Structure 1
Amino acid sequence: MHAQALDDIRVIDLSQVMAGPYCSMLLADMGAEVIKVEPPQGESTRSWPPYKEGESGAFMAINRNKKGINVNLKTKEGQQIFYDLIKTADVVVENFRPGVVKRLGVDYDTLSAINPKLVYCSISGFGQYGPYSSRGGYDLIAQGMTGIMSVTGEPGGDPVKCGLPINDLGTALFASYGILTALYSRTKTNEGQFIDASLFDTGLALSVWESAQYWYTGATPQPTGSGHRLSAPYQAFRASDGHFTVGADAPHHWKMFCEIIGRPEMLEDERFKDNESRMDHMEVFVQMIEEQTTTQPRSYWLEKFEEVGIPAGSINTYPESLNDPHTQARDMVCEVDHPVAGKVKALGIPVKMSKTPGSIRKSAPLAGEDTNSILSELGYDEEKIESLRKNEIV
């Protein structure tokens, strides 16, 4: 076993569903001890399909490498258990609607008074301040309000949601980046801090090309289908048996591309003389290319482009992608043993580190799986733990 970068960090995960749990899982993958604190009935995602042996695949997908404890934070005794846990913690992650943690007595001001070194990360739909801060936030709503849905889909079509929950997952990434930054800052100040991450801010932060287009041209960004907003050809094209993608927007690639598809005359055509011209004549540009690419299967074109170094690839289904030999070589699919579901598939660690690599050490916890061991560590004896169970505190 290699050393892991975060193996001396304890994270208390109060979050549910997607953004918060994914954030804490990223930390767990890098060695952090993550303790997932759920209400007595468990978090809602445990009931989401698909299932294996009655266990939620959705829950297992984003809660691996965590310990689990169920605590009723609406009771004084439950709060005290949580406060005892906070004394041992480095990080808290929560994604309640603003105001809820204050009512539960687990807000930053309360917990930082107990542990001044605590890094406290709040994830919400719209952040902790601003005119929309009290609203509930979902990935779909954030995609719509930040402009993402206005530029997704085919030109002239209806607004389309990104196929992945990009605001949820993106916020998880930004939140983990904020947490690691705060932990590094703590090594110099010996103080924790509060982190405010939101799905709304994430959607805007990811809109780098769209905001640039609007600010520097005054034009409202529109959907571009599979195409790039600023360069071409950088998109999907039809072959005789499906679609493939190609990025031949660099001048030397553009010349080779035209020669390979049998359209050298496009190099002399004023409509396509440079990138800006190609973008201005996109409809006829794509039509002329696909008149050629539809005469051969995807494999033919991909082989030709690979020979000269033009970036290209097939558009895979998920079965094709997950079973791709490169996916296997990169260890991006693995198996984890779950005490109820048995062997389950999991996505691998996406960041490869030479000296402190991440690892998948255990499956997602069963509800309350580690309650006894965690309470024992905090100094609760067996009689007290039994009493807490009897009174439905844990």
Structure 2
Amino acid sequence: MQPRKSLIEIFSTFLQFDADHFCGWATDAKLRRSMHSRIKQSTHDTSEGFWALYWYRVWQSQIQSVAKEHLIAYLQESCYWTSIKAAQSFASSQYKLADCFQIAIAQVDKVFKGFNPNQGFFLKNYASAIFSSIIRDTLRQRHEIDICSDWGLLRKISQKRLIESLQAAGLPPDTVTAYVCAWNCFKIFYTPTQAQGTRQLARPDLQTWEAIAQAYKSQTQFEVNPQTLETWLLSCTKAVRRFLYPSVTSINISTAGDDSTEWLDNIPANEQESLLNEIITQEEQQIRTAQLSELNTVLTTAVAQLEPQAQEILYLYYTQGLTQHQIAKQLQIQQYTVSRRLTKTREKLLQSLAQWSQQKLHISIDSDLLKSISTVMEEWLQSNFIEEGNGEQVIGDRG
């Protein structure tokens, strides 16, 4: 990783890609001025963690301001490293590094809505865990849709989702009704055999199309030829694919030429000052830092006490980004063994963390807190191993 950049650059620049490769940083002039102004008003030495928390509090207050854009700039590197790992894990996927990055950053609101600094999370670490989940789930779902033929997709889709897709495509109500009726007739008369499955279904034969046309006429009293019905159904598949997985566009760079006003003008002065003072005087920050330092010691000790093979599996999974199948192949063991040992290892670490929470923080463990502790542990594992694994990689200097 490159040397630390200035605070202004961290909160005002965005990654740029050339095809599937990092090619530099783009600076947003409004964000740069906004960040420079805030730093000048602060009389204390502050860190990037401080400003991440500050802009998050501004975003929480729902002020119409630049807070969200500052936070998106701040999370660029977390999203980048997470995307690298995801792209390597899905090596056979048509979605590459730049695609993974845009998939994750386009859903950055999930990070902001789920983040809770009062539970000891660092925004960057929390974002890495959420970005990873977003990319993994999206690619798996997209793969399922991508490998379906048009006819297989029509068999899998629900009527509710079909109607939502057609409405999102801007079709008038009578057209939606006609298409849905045609789809229902299609499902009645085009049933795959057990050998065919439901993915790569071939185009219905002429006899089936005629049966569909006859059923449509019986239900609506309107006669439509098989060719028209086929066109309608293919339009349905296009609408469904567009609705489920719209093309991803960058939300990072502001509209070209839109540099006429200062973002800071949109934040009331009294609100700026109160938020800044609130963050500066927060004693919980020191307490949280001490707790996180102890948490790091607890987990580091727990990992060191694991069996060598469990440590190696963690290293391969988090540092190398290998799949369970790849780990099993490298260690010459069964994949289910890798899965079982990963699960048991996480359980041991979670138990150590839960005991520490009870003894040091005097917190009663319930299901909600256990879920939060599990998230903290996953953040720590990803952060600890990602930093070690990417230590010699270079994105490039901002500015």
Of structures 1 and 2, the one scoring higher in RCO (CA 8 A, sep 6+) is 2
**TM-score, length-normalised on structure 1?**
0.29
Q: Which has the higher strand share?
A: 1
Higher helix share: 2
TM-score w.r.t. length of structure 2:
0.29
